[in-house]
Amino acid sequence: MIPYGKHFVDEDDIEAVIAVLKSNNLTQGPMIEEFEKNFSNYVGSKYAVAVSSGTAALHLSSLALDVNNTSFALTSPISFVSTANCIKFCGGDIGFVDIDLNTLNISSSKLEEFLQKSDKKVDVILPVHFSGLSADMKKIHELSKLYNFKIIEDAAHALGSSYDNKKKIGSCCYSDITIFSLHPVKSIAAGEGGVITTNSDEIYRKLIRLRSHGINKLDDTFLEFDQAFTGNLKNPWYYEMQDLGYHYRITDIQCALANSQLKKLDNFITERKKLANNYNKIISAYENINIHQDTNKMSSANHLFILNIDFNKYKISRAELMYSLRQSDIITQVHYLPIPYHPYYRKQLSKKYNIFNASRYYQTCLSIPLFYKLSFEQQELIIDKINTLLK
């Protein structure tokens, strides 16, 4: 079986997890802080906060930027539903700006046009670095200064990617917050998990509280001094819930795995680039197959490799092609059904958004296997099989 995505775990990863299992802390221990420090050092941010999932990271980021029932945010229609859901979790309203067909990211020119024409104040933009390729963050950041909105970068696909200025995605040089996913098919795995990066002291302190029920036992200033102290002596049992928070903590077990994987990240990304370049080379020999997002592969984490197939030209549908490939033990996927197409959003959206490019992309996209340790021989087999079925 050749899956579309797959994690890689070696003996170092296993030993790192075993060491935690033999330690005194399975959760809320020192491994979490160690991983956060190493992660922030890698991406170049001041802070990193590890949480239970990428969705939790999006939710807490929205709360940290004070998204509420008066807020309006914009994102790309081509993403997993969590990118939009996090705004709805907070009671806010979400809208969509169409993608650029070359990058498959939110179009900065269409975003500027929307902002110029909108009679509604936009509070937050959530650019998605789709497949690991950076959105046009320099332009989006410039627009944020002009139109006074906050930026949460959805970098669930993009750990190990860089901006055009060569800085790592996650450094937050263009945003208030960046989020990552540690799901097994992403750049590094923690089983499940997510990370939030920021350079703001205030946002960091909010995130620490919101991650754990609104409680920070480390260094928050107490608000109820008469409860916190007996005379001049701090009560050893005392802590305060200062915000309405959540149980979005990650464990030391997960962080041990993620910390070990982080050491291999550059190697993972290098191999993904080699595989993407090899796909390009193989596909160039076929007339029936084209590539989506055929740009800037060297700065991308290459989380996905997406074919561009006009199924109207062939006697086989996309569904039939995918089932036929499964019979040959090749698993493919579609990333993604545009968010406004989901029944929930069809009911919730107060207006129709022009997502012509996203719709066009959705009709022609097919994600084929790409993961560390995929072989060149397997790549040849995959493309040859797809070409045969299209014929």
Domains and CATH numbers, the chain: 11-264 (3.40.640.10), 266-390 (3.90.1150.10)
pLDDT for res 218: 77
CA neighbor of 126 nearest in space, from 92, 181, 84, 67 = 84
pLDDT value, residue 89: 98
358's tokens: 């996203």
Edge-first strand listing for the sheet containing 194-198: 47-51, 194-198, 177-181, 150-154, 124-126, 72-75, 93-96
Strands annotated E in 132-278: 150-154, 177-181, 194-198, 229-230, 233-234
Q: For every one of its 391 residues, what pLDDT tens digit does the chain have, with 9 covering 90 and above? A: 999 999 999 999 999 999 999 999 999 999 999 999 999 999 999 999 999 999 999 999 999 999 999 999 999 999 999 999 999 999 999 999 999 999 999 999 999 999 999 999 999 999 999 999 999 999 999 999 999 999 999 999 999 999 999 999 999 999 999 999 999 999 999 999 999 999 999 999 999 999 999 998 877 889 999 999 999 999 999 999 999 999 999 999 999 999 999 999 999 999 999 999 999 999 999 888 899 998 888 899 999 999 999 999 999 999 999 999 999 999 999 999 999 999 999 998 878 899 999 999 999 999 999 999 999 999 999 999 999 999 8
CB 303 within 8 A of CB 276: no
Strand partners, 368: 305
